[in-house]
A and B are shown apart, each in its own frame.
Chain A
Amino acid sequence: MKLADIAHSRAGDKGNISTLSLIPYDEKDYALFVNEVTVAKVKDHLSGIVKGEITRYEMPNISSLLFVCEEALESGVTTSLASDPHGKALSYALLEMEI
C-alpha cells in the first residue's frame, strides 16, 4: 500500500533543507513506520529530488517520524528555478512511497 493510505505529512523548508513529517492516522501504526520507513528507503524513493543526507527523528511522544532532507530544494526558496521553490508539495511525494 501507499503511505498516503495510512499517513499524512507536511513539508517545511529552511534554506536548501526540506523537512517532511510522517504521521500515521492510527497511532498503532507508528511501530510499523519505525521499522519500514527507513532512511535508506526514503532516500531511494526521493532519489532525484533529495541530493543530500537524510536524517530521521523518531518522535514517540506524538507517534510520528520527521525526515530532514538536505540539498532538497534546488538551492532553496529564494534562488531556486523550480516551480515549487519551497518544496511545499513534497509531503505528497513522500506519501507516494509503497510499503
Chain B
Amino acid sequence: MKEKIRIGSGAGFSGDRIEPAVVLAANGQLDYLVLECLAERTIALAQKRKLSDPSLGYDPLLTRRIETLLPHLVKNKITLITNMGAANPLAAAKKVQEISRSLGYSIRIAAVDGDDVLTEVEEQKEHLTVLETGKKLSEYSILSANAYMGVEGILEALEQKAQIIITGRVADPSLFLAPMMFEFGWSSLDYHLLGCGTVIGHLLECAGQLTGGYFADTEKKAMPDLAHLGHPFADVFANGDAVLGKVENTGGSITLATVKEQLLYEVINPNAYLTPDVSANFTQVKLAVSGTDRIQVSGGTGNEKPSNYKVSVGYRAGFVGEGEISYAGDKALERARLAGEIIRERIKIFTQDIRVDYIGWDSVHRKNFRPDYEPYEVRLRVAAKTDSMEKAILVGEEVEALYTNGPAGGGGVRKYAQEQLGIVSVLIPRSTCIAKITLFES
C-alpha cells in the first residue's frame, strides 16, 4: 500500500484547454491524471451524435487530448482516468487504441460503461417521477438516460492494470476517489474516508477554478499570469488528508480564498453532498496554508451512500430561435425597447414564450442594480421557444428585418436557431445498472 499519491486535474469541462493538462503530465510528477469532461447536457448531446453515427458519441476533443498527452503519460507512467467516453466509452477506447498503436506504444485501455439505462427507463417511465417537476417521466419525449455511477467500474479497471480508463457517466468526484480507494485499500463502506476523498475530488474537479482562473478579479482578487493558468494537483495521504498544489512557473495561484470558493461551488447541502459512493459532509473541513500555492485540506467526512442512482434523462424540449441587434448613441435604450416591443407584436402569433433582453442594461442579472445612468449602447436580444425549427428560424428573421422595418440605427444582427435538449432527473434502484469494463490492448 502506498502512503501518498499525487492526482492531477487536467480538465474541468468538455471544452477545457489542453495545455495545462500537458504541463501537469510532463512536469507534475503525477501518479494519476484525471480529465473531467462531462456535464449533464454534454452527455445528452453526445447521445444525439451517437444516434446519427454509432462510431461517435465520445468527447469531441478526445483525439486531440490523447494524441498530445499520451507520450507524457507513457514516459512518466501516469494512469489517466477520464469520462471522455461520454455516450460511447467503447468507441472512445477503440479510438485511443488506434492512436496508441500509431504512436507505437504498448498499453492497456479500459472502457467503463453500464451507465446507459435508456431501455430500463423507457420501460419504467410510467412509474418514474421527475425530481425537478414532480411530473411522470412518460410526459417527456425521452432521448437519453444515463445513471451517475460511482467508483466501481474504475476500481475494476485499476485492478486490471489499465493505464487509460475511459468512462461514460460517472459522478465527477468518483473519478478522483477511485484511485485513492485502490491505492490505499479504502473500503467502500468506510464512509469517513470516502467523505475525505470526495471533498478532495470535489475541490479538484473543476481544474482551473481552484487555481484562480474563475476566481480572478482585477484588484482584490488579482491573480498572476492568468494567460498561462496552471491546473491543480493534490497530494493525497492514506489517512484522507491532502495538500493541494500546482506546477511551479504556471499562472494563477492556490490560496485559502480560491479553495473556499471551490469547496462551496454547486453545493446544495454541505451536510450531505450526495454522490453514488457516499453522502459527504463538508461542514468540518479545515483548510490551512502549508507553503506557496499549497493548501492543506483535512476534516472531510461522510455517511452512508444513497440507495438509488440518479439518472440524467435527456428529452426533446422543442426549439429556440434568437436574434440580436445593437443600438448606440442618443436614446439607445429607448430605441432598443421600441424594437423589442415591435418584435414581440410580430412574433406573438406563433410563440407565447418570449424573452426580450437589453444587453448592456439588465440582460445578465435579469435586473439592473445600478439603473441611474443612460447607457451609451444597448443590444436587443430576443429569444423564443417554438414547436418547430421553421418558427425558431423566423424569430431571428424578424429581428433581422428590423434593418428596414424597425427603429433607426439598428446594426450588427446575429441570429440563431436550434433544437432544445432538456435534462431532468429520476431515481432508479442501484440494481438497475452494473458497471462493466472492456479491455483493449495496443
Contact = CB atoms under 8 A, between A and B. Distances in A.
Contacts of A9: 261
Interface in B248-284: 257, 260-271, 282-284
Interface in A4-61: 8-10, 12-17, 19, 21, 23, 25, 48-49, 57, 59, 61
Identify which of B131, B215, B369, B370 gathers the most chain A CB atoms within 10 Å of its CB.
B369
A81 to B, nearest CB: 4
Given A48-B366, A83-B364, A78 B41 contact: yes
Contacts of A66: 264, 267, 270
Interface in B192-209: 209
Contact of B317 (A10, A79, A89, A92): A79
B420 A79 contact: yes
Contacts of B40: 77-78
A76 to B, nearest CB: 7
A82 B364 CA distance: 8
Interface in A69-99: 74, 76-79, 81-84, 89-90, 92-93, 96
A12 B260 contact: no
Nearest to B370: A96
Interface in B1-44: 40-41, 44
B75 interface: no
B220 A8 contact: yes
Nearest to B425: A15
A66 B271 CA distance: 12
Interface residues of B, number: 53
B266 A59 contact: no
Contacts of A1: none
Given A8-B220, A81-B385, A83-B357, A13 B264 contact: no
Contacts of B425: 15
Contacts of B367: 48-49, 93
B66 interface: no
Interface of B: 40-41, 44, 131-132, 209, 214-215, 217, 220-221, 257, 260-271, 282-287, 299, 317, 320, 353, 355, 357, 359, 363-367, 369-370, 381, 383-385, 420-423, 425
Given A61-B284, A62-B287, A78-B421, 10 more contacts: A9-B261, A10-B262, A48-B366, A59-B282, A61-B285, A64-B260, A78-B40, A79-B422, A82-B366, A96-B370
Interface of A: 8-10, 12-17, 19, 21, 23, 25, 48-49, 57, 59, 61-62, 64, 66, 68, 74, 76-79, 81-84, 89-90, 92-93, 96
11 contacts: A9-B261, A12-B265, A19-B264, A19-B268, A23-B257, A23-B264, A48-B366, A61-B299, A68-B269, A89-B364, A96-B370
